[in-house]
Chains A and B, each alone.
Chain A
Amino acid sequence: MNYIVLIKQVPDIRHIPKEAWDWEKGTLKRGLLDNVCNELDKQAMAMALSMRKDRDGKIIALTMGPPFATEILRYAMSIGIDEGVLITDRKFAGADTTATAYPLAQAIRKIQKEIFAGSDDFVVLAGMQSVDGDTAQVPPQLAEELGIANISYVTTVTFEKDNMLAERITRRGAETVSPTKMPCLLTVTEWAETPFPSFARTRWAEKETTREWSVEDIEADTTRVGLGGSRTNVVKIFSPKESSNRVCIFEHDLNKVVQGLKETYNKKLNEISSEAVTSDYKLPEGKQSDYKGDVCVYVEQDDGEIHPATYELLGKAAELAATLGEKVGAVLVGSNVKGLSDALISYGADKVFVIDNPLLAHFLPTSYTKAISRMVEQHEPQIMLFSATPQGRELAPRIAYKTNSGLTADCTQLDIVDFTRGKKEATAILKQTRPALGGNIMASIVSQNSKVQMTTARPGVFAAIEPDSTRKGEVIDVVVEITEDDLGAKIVTSELLPSTSELSDATIIVGGGKGLRTKEGFDKYIHPLVEGFEQYFGEQAMAGASRMAVESGFIERTHQVGQTGQTVKPTIYVAVGISGAIQHVTGMQSSDIIIAINRDPDAAIFKVADFGIVGDLEEVVPGLIKALKTSEVQQNV
């Protein structure tokens, strides 16, 4: 078996020198950041190296970028990869994920032909996402272009006779998936120690030549690459400060922290929570909107249980549809799911498109892509929203690619706007705003040359409307023929962890991270702090954890908060020893009040916190518990 690992050169956002910030513009001077190999791509290479121990073969590292991107190919070779391929051409500049996936797929076809002697017994591996773009879209789109299965969030791969078994993380547990055909694509989540280069291999890699292929070499259609081949366009980059009203108050005096917390808490309780959302967009007179059709929402469901983020999206879709004078559609896929239509209608759907098929009982990217793409072709919505959940981010890229639509990942803001740039004029289009570069900058993006404007939206950001069971809506059956062949992979085992509703029900969550170092540390500090908060506020408090804490075995996965865990929205979130990686922040940033305890004053977590305590948690946590107790006693006196 052979291997192709997709790698990407990215700015080193773990070490941002202070002078790299442009405070006036609120953006980063990328030139001052080191260029490094994307961390998760190193994990993908580590996985390929480990798979090769079972199934020997060649490992090729493939990247697209400017000529100096050969640096990471040499790095790849220094840790054990056999050959490096760089596709580089001025014509690739300005590419979005669609215009990146296509030439990469062309390069893979060429590798298969020329290096693997035509054999299709190979696996494409990629990191789950890159730290700069952070879209996680290229691998699924590339799989769509190649017409192969993609298995995402893979943690381990084993071989059993002729079968490859990939274990992957799902929202509620884990599954083992086996591809039914080769080649296939795996995206890898953090799973092992990053390999180190040896001196000998580094020196060898330095002397070895790497392949550099141009747009002609890979026989790519030039209209499908670069800015021209892109279906999205970044229209504005700005500082996250403009969009967030959180200002972290740093405080050393823990009694003051508790006092401030209580005051803010009481204030939040009194706030009127159900503000009516309105948009003041008006279609300019004499103009026609560029897109026509419904505003659709993909319904994410597990065994008949609808993901709460779907309701949030219906809320947002209702607002957008009202602005545009269109209807809200819900796209419901599964087996025996029609019964869920009423709930969707009560939350704002005017139409429910139902694709019901026994073969769609379990989510698999290839079959779901086929089903939904057919619906899109038949009913031509103008906007399609997916939740930026693991499933949404796995599925949406393929559908967007197949339906020639632009897709923006992980949006936190969606508006209808008119837009002019040069001679180009757009009317009533969807402006999609999202954090990028690990949350260090914000980018506003619009679709171009797109059938549908597609977006994955961050869970917990938009509000669901109050359900109304008297609402009426239309249920439309969409017939799509699905065969076994469309599945691409089969689910071998599926392990559903106990229901996790408790964590999302908690008013207060104390999340522990890697900073706690050991399970003993987690037990010693997090649980007493949970009790402390519970007693002080008289509300249910629970322990949460970052992915690293879960991976390190501090606590079960059901407590994991973040992109591959749960999205929570408690009144108070306390982040203890959590650095604030975007994957975690995604899952908790909508909490009403956020307190962060970290020894690193520059930790990203403080950017989303209301209260910040800089210090060693061994000191701060006991102090905070004491302050909660003292303050409680005073309250009761």
Chain B
Amino acid sequence: MSKAVGSDLNKADILFVGAGPASLAGAIKLQQLLKESGRSESVVVVEKGNKVGNHTLSGAIFDAEVLDELLPDWKQDEHPFIKKMLENEVQKDSVKYLTHHFAVSVPNFILPSDMKNEGLYTVSISELTAMLAEKATQLGVEIYTGFAARDIVEENGFVKGVKLGDKGLNQEGEKQSNYVAGEEIKANVTVFGNGCLDPVLDRLTDKFEMTKDKNPQIYSVGVKEIIKLPEENNFGSNRVIHTMGFPNRRLTPDVFGGGTIYSMGGNYVAVALIMGLDWRYCDLNPQQELQVYKSHKYVSKLIEGGEVVAYGAKTIPEGGYYSMPELVTNGAVIIGDAAGLVNIRKMKGLQYAVKSGIVAAEAIFASIQKGDYSKESLSAYKTALDDSFVGKDMRGARNYRQVFEKAKRVGVYLGAPLTKIQRLLPFRLKTHPDYKSMKKSKLKRDYSEGVDRLTDVSYSGTFHREEQPSHITFVNTDDCRECEAKYGLNPCVCFCPGEVYKVEEGKMMLSPSNCLHCKTCRVKCPYENIVWEVPEGADGPKYKVM
């Protein structure tokens, strides 16, 4: 028999779910507070990725000021990540409007000051989280990767932790010789920092009615490639470009969003395209749209001679203030992307995530001191967040995205002035779930240029053990046939950035192994027919520089 290993190993005092920037910042802060006061409560982080950073993806332009609260002397830190970040301070920042053939500069003076990026840093969020994890571990935070939370544990109206997914089931769901049952990890407070669209979050918000009377959350999907440019290149360093217009087909844009090109140091650039999931085209393929984007004369010139080395995709919650769930319940708080903390006007979420983790940690620390983990006690988090720059910014942009939804037909350029007055609107503009926006209209784009989707998928490093039950299933396949009849194709075959869906001989075939965990399918299937569950821990993409 294996050496017995005590039962309290499945108990933590505070449990963070998901090792993203929000959780790691929270865990660091909490551990610092506990240490300072001579306490020894355990702070545990569980992460479904194989390593910290493997499942995080972002632009990312980072307003590093927020690190002051976490790592006071960070600028003097010798950590390679910090050194690299400091080298990648944004010095050239521009916004371009792309027509089909040209790029027009959008003059700086008409841009609101909070859309300017000079003095901020371009970072890889995979590398940022890896650094934070190192710092957290040094402080005594316990981080366990490769463990996927599959459900919440509830006792007497309190969240009491999470239940992990089983490992070692075969495709039929039978136990293999290496079967390990999903364990429960109990905690006094469970902090949900598990990002955008995790089904576990739905289980929490449904059970505790945390989305009642809220706007439905709406999303964008961002697809991103890291490109290695030759030594001599046209892009240079310390530069960020945001673009509007192309690959939209018309002057009146039909898809909300835009493109970004950031220098990442060492001749690497990150090229990304962000598309609001309320697009109406049933044949839109985000990964291929990125290729179309890269083929634009202006963009292709900038990345000339480059070679794609990494790829990934992620959804972004952009419903804003009115779409945020209740952030607190008995024994649980929600932080970061999971809380919908993205300011789509600034196109930023990273510093909000970090800040929310810090504020949550402070509230949890107060609750630990009181020994009271009720909703009332933990609500200090919500109040403090509201009072911080996060609350201010979120409220300031509260109707921003909705204006675009309303103005879609007339276009972003009418929408843009409207955004100036959106904050004055005394009422709440509604959002509609993304799946409802799918129409029969087609882009009919020639998707034959650039990197094909499967090749890009291989650059994501994604991998799932083939023998496990598919983590993606259909509620019923009749709907797929109906869907195909209605649209002339199955939109999932197009909208999935990972090429999970494929129709062969009239039959829908799934390749769950390709999945990038972006979960676009959870919200974009017009029949709401796709069920995405968390697969076995450690599976999924292996982002390193995303």
Contacts and interface: CB of A to CB of B under 8 A. Distances in A.
Nearest to A205: B5
A285 B51 CA distance: 59
B14 to A, nearest CB: 15
Top 6 closest pairs, chain A to chain B, by CB = A204-B5, A193-B178, A200-B9, A19-B309, A196-B167, A18-B309
A4 B544 CA distance: 35
Nearest to A203: B9
Given A199-B164, A202-B144, A193 B5 contact: no
Interface string B504-524: 100000000000000000000
B147 interface: yes
Contacts of A616: 504
Contacts of A81: 2
A415 interface: no
A291 B309 CA distance: 48
Contacts of A59: 2
Nearest to A16: B461
Interface string A1-39: 000000000000011011100000000000010100000
Pick from A192, A202, A618 the residue with the most CB of B within 10 Å: A202
A600 interface: yes
A425 B162 CA distance: 65
Given A56-B1, A616-B504, 13 more contacts: A19-B226, A19-B309, A34-B51, A196-B167, A199-B9, A199-B10, A200-B7, A201-B2, A201-B5, A202-B147, A204-B5, A204-B9, A601-B455
A206 interface: yes
Interface in B278-323: 308-310
A562 interface: no
Contact of A18 (B2, B310, B463): B310
Interface in B439-490: 454-455, 458-459, 461, 463, 467
Interface in A79-93: 80-82
Pick from A82, A192, A196, A601 the residue with the most CB of B within 10 Å: A196
A377 interface: no
Interface in A367-387: none
A200 B455 contact: no
A200 B309 contact: no
A240 interface: no
Nearest to B145: A202
A77 B226 CA distance: 37
A614 B499 CA distance: 15
A200 B168 contact: no
Contact of B545 (A19, A193, A195, A203): A19
Interface of A: 14-15, 17-19, 32, 34, 46, 49, 52, 56, 59, 80-82, 192-204, 206, 599-602, 614, 616, 618-619
Contacts of B536: 196
A199 B147 contact: yes
Given A34-B51, A199-B147, A17 B542 contact: yes
B9 A17 contact: no
Contacts of B185: 199
Nearest to A19: B309
Q: Mostly helix, strand, loop or mixed at chain B's interface?
A: mixed
A16 to B, nearest CB: 9
A206 B142 contact: yes
B146 A618 contact: no
B271 to A, nearest CB: 15
B178 A600 contact: no
Given A19-B545, A32-B544, A206-B142, A196 B180 contact: yes
A600 B544 CA distance: 21
A200 B144 contact: no
B177 A15 contact: no
A416 to B, nearest CB: 40
B104 to A, nearest CB: 34
B55 interface: no
A560 to B, nearest CB: 21
A82 B3 CA distance: 6
B77 interface: no
Nearest to A517: B466
B401 interface: no
Contacts of A618: 504
Contacts of A194: 178
A264 B51 CA distance: 46
Nearest to B1: A56
Nearest to B2: A80
B504 A18 contact: no
A193 B177 contact: yes
A193 B147 contact: no
Contacts of A614: 454
Given A193-B176, A619-B504, A203 B544 contact: no
A80 B178 CA distance: 11
Contacts of B545: 19
B183 interface: yes
Contacts of A619: 504
A203 B168 contact: no
A601 B9 contact: no
A616 to B, nearest CB: 8
19 contacts: A14-B463, A17-B309, A17-B459, A17-B461, A18-B308, A56-B1, A193-B168, A193-B178, A197-B180, A199-B9, A199-B10, A199-B183, A199-B185, A201-B5, A204-B5, A206-B144, A600-B458, A618-B504, A619-B504
Nearest to A602: B458
